[in-house]
A and B are shown apart, each in its own frame.
Chain A
Amino acid sequence: MTFFAKTLGTVAALALSAGAALADPALIYDLGGKFDKSFNEAAFNGAEKFVADTGGSYRDIEIQSEAQREQALRRFAENGFNPIVTTGFAIASIMGEVAKDYPDTKFVNVDGWLPEVPENVLLINFQEHQGSYLVGMMAAMASESGKVGFIGGMDIPLIRHFGCGYAQGAKAVNPDIEIIANMTGTTPTAWNDPVKGSELANAQISQGADVIYAAAGGTGVGVLQTAADEGILSIGVDSNQNHLHPGKVLTSMLKRVDVAVYEAMKAGEGLETGKFMTLGLAEDGVGYALDDNNAPLVSDDMKMAVDAARQQIIDGGLNVVAYYDNDSCPVLDF
C-alpha cells in the first residue's frame, strides 16, 4: 500500500506539473443533479460567477452512481484539476480517502463531515439551523391559523436539522404554534419529487397550515407551486426562490453554497485547507432573502424582530439548538 501510495503520488505530481499552467477547478455535483433549483444549482451558479468574473473555466460532472464519486475525484485529480469542489455530505468520506493519494491537489466539500480533516481538504459547513430559525419566526408571524408546515426531502439528520431550527424560531414567536412536519421519502428520489411535494403541501393545507417551509431540493418546487395555487405562503430554501411565485413566497432560507464555491474556485491553489469552515449568520453564509418579490409580505415589525434575533444569535445571546448536538430536537418530534 505504501509503495502504491508513493507511485500514485508521483503520478499525480507529474500530472499536476504537466497541467500546472492551466489548473482549472473541477466541480462534482451530488446525485440530485445540476439543475435542482436549489442546492446543486447554487454551486453551479457560484462556478458560473467564477467564469464570468475571472474569465477562467472549469469542468463539472453530475454523477450517476455511488462508485462514480471516487472515480470522478481520481480522474479529475489525475488530470490536474485543482481545486476539486464537491457538493453534498455523501462524498465526504471517500474524498477524505482519495485526498491522501493526491497531496498536491486541494479538495473542498460543502456539507460534509470527517472525523479527521486531511491537510489538503477543506470542509465547508453551514449553520442551517440559524437561518431556519429566522424563517421560522417569519412563518409564525405571517401565520393566521397558528399552524405552520415543514416539508423535508429525504429523512436524514441534515434535514431534521433544518426542521428543528425552523420549529424553534416559530415557537419563539408563538409558543402555542403547531408545527406540521413531513418528510418526502426515505430514498434519494425524495430530493426530486415535485408531485409528492405538492401532495404533502395539500395535506398540510387541509390540516390548517398556512405557511409551509420546503427544505427538499427539487421537491420544493412542487410545494411552492401548490402553496401559490392554494393561496397560502411558502418558504424556499438554499437558493433565493422568491422569484418563482412573486408575492406568494414569504422568503427563502439562503444557504450561500454559491459564495462558498465561488470563493474556493477563485482562491485556486492558494486555498487554505486542512480545516472545517463554518458559515453562519455572522459570515452571511445563511440568512433570509428579501427582494422586490416578497417586500409586500414582510412587514416592518417582522423585519425588525428577525433582524434583532439575527443580531442576538451572532452576539451569542440566543442559542439555537442544533439537531446534531444530541440527535434530537427539543421542540419537534420527527
Chain B
Amino acid sequence: MNRMPAWADAVLVPLFSILLAALISALVILAIGEDPVEAFSLMVDGALMRSSGWGYTLYYATNFIFTGLCVAVAFHARMFNIGGEGQAMIGGLGVALACLYIPWPHWTIALIGATFSAALFGAAWAFIPAYLQAKRGSHIVITTIMFNFIASAVLNYMLVNVLRPPRAMDPATGPFPEATHLPTFQDMFATADNPLFRGSPANVTFFIAVLACIGFWFLIWRTRLGYEIRAFGHSETAAKYAGISPVRIIVVAMLISGGLAGLMALNTTMGEAERLVMNATEGAGFIGIAVALMGRSHPLGVFLAALLFGFLYQGGAELALWTSIPRELITVIQALVIMFTGALDNMVRMPLEKLFLLFGRGKRT
C-alpha cells in the first residue's frame, strides 16, 4: 500500500494502461494499412468535438455507469455478478410493462414509476441466484451467467408472443405512449440559434446515473449496511464473528446490484428506443465488469471509466462510418482497452511501484 501514493494508484496506473492499449491499437491499425493518427482524430472529432458526438458518448456512458455500479456493489461484497446483462433485460421488461400498461400523466411521474419498475424487475432477477448462493452455495458466477440466457429466452418469448403488435416482424413492443417519452439533451439544452446535441440519444437518464453514483458512494461508505457489505467482502468469517448475517448481505448486495443493472434499461428503452427491443442491452452488462474493474469499484472511477468506454463506442461508430476499418478491428481496439485496464493491471502496476520505490530511495539518500 505505501509503496505508491494513492494518487498514482488511482491516476497513473489506468493512464499508462490506456496509453499502452492505444499504442498497440495504433500498431494494429498500421498493420492493416490505415493511418492511426487519422483514425484517432476521427474518433476524437466524432465523439468529443461535436455536441451530438457528446450526446452519443454520454448515452453509452449512462449504460456503463449503471452496469459498472451493478458489478461494483457486488465486488464490495466479494461477489462476481456477471448477470448484469440478464438483469438489465428483465429490467427492460419492467420498463416496458410500466410504460405500456399504466396511463402516466407526465414523463416525470412515468420516469419515477418506470425507475421503480426497472429496479424491481432487475432485483427480482438477481434474487434467485443470490438466494441459491446464500442458502445453497451455488456459485454466483455460474448461476448469474446462466440466468443471462434464461432472461434472453423469457424476453424473447414475451416480445414474440405477448407484447409484439400484430403484423410487426420485429420482436419488439409497440412504441410507448407520448407521455412517457423522456426529454433528450437536445430538448433540454438546444436553443433556436444553437442546436446542441442534435439527434443524439443522451437523455435525462444520465442524471439518474449521476445520482446513482452519489447514492452508491453514500451507501457503501456512509451507512451501516455499506459497512457490513464491505466487512463481509473483506472477510466472511470476521463478518460472521461480528454478527453480520452472510445470507442477508449476499441477498441484499445482489438485490442492489440487480436493481442497478435494471436501471440501465431506462436509458436504452425509455430514453432512446421508446419501445422495448430484443437487443436493448447490447453487452453493456459485460462492459460493466471492465468498467467496475477499471474504476476500482469506486463511483468516481466507475463514472470516468464509463465515459472512456462511451468514447470508445461512439468513436468506434465514427470509424465504422468514415473509414474502411472493419468492425471486427474496432472490437479489437475496445477489447485491448479492457484487457490492459482490467486483466493486465499488474503489468503496469509493478514497474510503476518499482519506479516509485527507486525514486523515493533516491530522495532519502
Inter-chain contacts of B326 with A (CB < 8 A):
62
| Residue B179 CB within 8 A of the other chain | no
Q: How far is the CA of A79 from the CA of B43 in the complex (A)?
A: 18
Tell me how far the C-beta of B156 lies from the nearest C-beta in chain A, rounded to whole angstroms: 4
Q: Are A67 and B60 in contact (CB under 8 A)?
A: yes
Type the 1/0 row for B148-168, where 1 means its CB is closer than 8 Å to any CB of A.
Answer: 000011011100100010111
Q: Are A186 and B317 in contact (CB under 8 A)?
A: no
| Residue A89 CB within 8 A of the other chain | yes
| Residue B56 CB within 8 A of the other chain | yes
With contacts A4-B195, A8-B198, A67-B60 known, is A156 near B313, CB below 8 A? no
Q: How far is the CA of A94 from the CA of B198 in the complex (A)?
A: 16
Q: Are B327 and A64 in contact (CB under 8 A)?
A: yes
With contacts A67-B56, A67-B201, A89-B169 known, is A3 near B192, CB below 8 A? yes
Q: Are B330 and A156 in contact (CB under 8 A)?
A: no
Q: Are A62 and B320 in contact (CB under 8 A)?
A: yes
Specify the chain B residue showing the minimal Cβ separation from A188: B279
With contacts A71-B56, A113-B168 known, is A66 near B282, CB below 8 A? yes
Name the segment of B121-129, B270-278, B297-305, B340-348 touching the other chain. Answer: B270-278
Tell me how far the C-beta of B329 lies from the nearest C-beta in chain A, rounded to whole angstroms: 11
Q: How far is the CA of A186 from the CA of B278 in the complex (A)?
A: 9
Q: How far is the CA of A70 from the CA of B202 in the complex (A)?
A: 13
Q: Are A68 and B279 in contact (CB under 8 A)?
A: no
Q: Are B170 and A93 in contact (CB under 8 A)?
A: yes
Q: Are B317 and A71 in contact (CB under 8 A)?
A: yes
With contacts A67-B272, A186-B153 known, is A111 near B169, CB below 8 A? yes
Inter-chain contacts of A63 with B (CB < 8 A):
317, 320
| Main SS class of interface, A | helix
| Residue A75 CB within 8 A of the other chain | yes
Tell me how far the C-beta of A143 lies from the nearest C-beta in chain B, rounded to whole angstroms: 29
Q: Are A62 and B327 in contact (CB under 8 A)?
A: yes
Specify the chain B residue showing the minimal Cβ separation from A187: B152
Type the 1/0 row for B179-221, where 1 means its CB is closer than 8 Å to any CB of A.
Answer: 0000000100010100100111100000000000000000000
Q: Are A4 and B327 in contact (CB under 8 A)?
A: no
Q: Which of A27-59 contact B (CB under 8 A)?
A: 31, 33, 59
| Residue B331 CB within 8 A of the other chain | yes
| Residue A74 CB within 8 A of the other chain | yes
| Residue A261 CB within 8 A of the other chain | no
Q: Which 7 A-B pairs have the closest CB atoms?
A: A186-B156, A89-B169, A62-B327, A186-B153, A65-B282, A156-B171, A187-B152
Partner-A contacts on B (CB < 8 A): 56, 59-60, 152-153, 155-157, 160, 164, 166-172, 175, 186, 190, 192, 195, 198-201, 268, 272-273, 275, 277-280, 282, 313, 316-317, 320-321, 326-327, 330-331
**Given A3-B192, A93-B172, 5 additional A-B pairs, CB 8 A:** A59-B321, A71-B199, A76-B321, A90-B277, A90-B279
18 contacts between A and B (CB under 8 A): A31-B279, A62-B320, A63-B320, A64-B316, A65-B282, A65-B317, A66-B273, A66-B277, A67-B59, A67-B60, A68-B320, A90-B277, A154-B171, A155-B160, A158-B169, A186-B153, A186-B157, A187-B156
